[in-house]
Amino acid sequence: MTWPDYDPDGPSTGALLKAAGLGVRLAPKHGDRTPAQVAALVGDAVAAIVSTDPFDARVFAAAPRLRAIARVGVGFDSIDVDAASRAGVAVLTTPGANEATVADHTMALLLAALRRVPEQDAAIRRGEWNRVGAHTGWLLAGATVGLVGFGAIGRLVARRLSGFDVRLLIHDPAYDGGDGSAVDLPTLLRDADVVSLHAPLVPDTHRLIGAEQLALMRPGCVLVNTARGAMVDEAALEVALRDGGIRAAALDVFEREPPAGSLLLERPNVVLSPHVGGISTASVREMTERATQAVLAVLLGTEPDGLVNQPRGRADAPAAGAAVVPAGRQG
């Protein structure tokens, strides 16, 4: 278990695994990890309930008993899914469990950046009282907001924005209309006062926002990213923020997590949070419960929810159901 808040004794989490005769080993992820470190952690495990740990072919080669990886969340870009399929490992996610939480957090970051809440907070703690002038906040009502990606989370963000009377621009190849104006990415970047990212991380969206795209944005624009850090070229973003190319940024995700040494940490016009967009008390409970159920389904040979791939059989893996033994008879 690398998810930091996994309850090893919870009646709907760890207790279920133990009742099935499985041992529970905790290895919470609180910083960066290499595939070699993950391989050492996994060892002889038959399943893993994980955070954003990197799983590549080297990890699967070092873990011949591994049958399932359950991501607590919906992103699986840290897992080489093709390698998992070849190794006979099921990759599982918990779709729908944290979408509302991400949408709420997007709004929190967006408003914090526009109203300059962190800057005002820091100034008061320094004994200042800067109500106007250089610290004056900006207005969301009536602004143009561009959403890059319009899946479930993007749609929930749009619903929350509707109360602010914004003009909505949407860039998503699958967008079918009805919520805002469908535009190409350059048009969205040129016209928006706020750009918020909600697309998945795939090869086409890796560093989707780089120096060229930032140059299209208005000097008064705010960039919000609660999707994936690798969608933004952080070095180019730091330059744009430093030189006034854009007004501010609000980031929950980073190219490297945690972003130790990043120049973005030194910028007062950047609002930061530690990849917690999808985390709330309600979402953590649902995601860990669903990850537990999915792992048990794989090990028992039944159909799991949230299956991402079609794993192939492997001769060195336990047969379906063989990894689970009656409670009290664990080897």
Closest among 99, 55, 105, 154 to 287, alpha carbons compared: 99
pLDDT of residue 178: 87
DSSP secondary structure string for all residues of 194-224: EEEE-----GGGTT-B-HHHHHHS-TT-EEE
53 and 134 in a single domain? The answer is no
Residues 307 and 264 in one domain: no
Are residues 133 and 66 part of one domain? no
Whether 214 and 321 share a structural domain? no
Q: Where are the alpha helices (DSSP H) in 43-161?
A: 57-62, 81-86, 99-114, 117-125, 152-161
Residue 315's pLDDT is: 41
Task: Identify the pLDDT of residue 330.
Answer: 29
Structure-token pair, residue 278: 């999808």
Catalytic residue among 206, 255, 257, 285: 257
Catalytic residue among 71, 116, 198, 275: 275
Kindly report each contact of residues 74-82 with a partner whose C-beta sits within 8 Å and lies 24 or more positions away, as own/partner.
Answer: 74/98, 74/278, 75/200, 75/201, 75/228, 76/308, 77/200, 77/201, 77/228, 77/230, 78/52, 78/53, 78/54, 79/54, 79/55, 80/55, 80/56, 81/308, 81/309
Same domain, yes or no, for 88 and 127?
no
* 177's tokens: 């209309």
Beta bridge partner(s), residue 148: 171, 197
Percent of the chain at pLDDT exceeding 70: 94
Residues 116 and 189 both lie in one domain: yes
320-325 mean pLDDT: 41
What are the strands, taking DSSP E only, across the chain?
Answer: 47-50, 68-71, 90-92, 144-148, 167-171, 181-182, 194-197, 222-225, 248-251, 270-272
Interval 195-214: pLDDT, tens: 999 999 999 999 999 999 99
Q: Are residues 14 and 91 in the same domain?
A: yes
Q: How many CB atoms lie within 10 A of CB 216?
A: 18
Whether 228 is a known active-site residue: answer yes
Q: CA–CA separation, 84 vs 76, rounded Å?
A: 11
pTM of the model: 0.88
The token duo for 35 is 């595939």
Q: What is the CATH number of the domain that holds 112?
A: 3.40.50.720
Give catalytic status of residue 275 as yes or no.
Answer: yes
- Domain co-membership, 35 together with 143: no
Last residue of some domain: 242, 272, 302? 272
- The residue among 272, 295, 315 that closes a domain is 272
Cβ–Cβ < 8 Å for 193, 144: yes
Residues 207, 155, single domain; the answer is yes
What is the average pLDDT score of the chain? 93
Residues 94 and 135 in one domain: no
Q: Which residue has the tokens 């999808």?
A: 278
pLDDT digits (tens, 9 = 90+) for 259-292: 999 999 999 999 999 999 999 999 999 999 999 9
Domain that holds residue 300: 1-98+279-331
pLDDT value of residue 317: 43
Count of structural domains within the chain: 2
- pLDDT of 319 > 50? The answer is no
User: Is pLDDT above 60 for 316?
Assistant: no
Residue by residue, DSSP assigns 1-21 as --STT--TT-TTTHHHHHHTT
Are 121 and 84 in the same domain?
Answer: no
Q: Between these two residues, 316 and 53, which has the higher pLDDT value?
A: 53
Which is catalytic among the residues 67, 116, 198, 228? 228
**Same-domain status, 84 and 64:** yes
The pLDDT value recorded for residue 312 is 87
Last residue of a domain, one of 249, 272, 295: 272
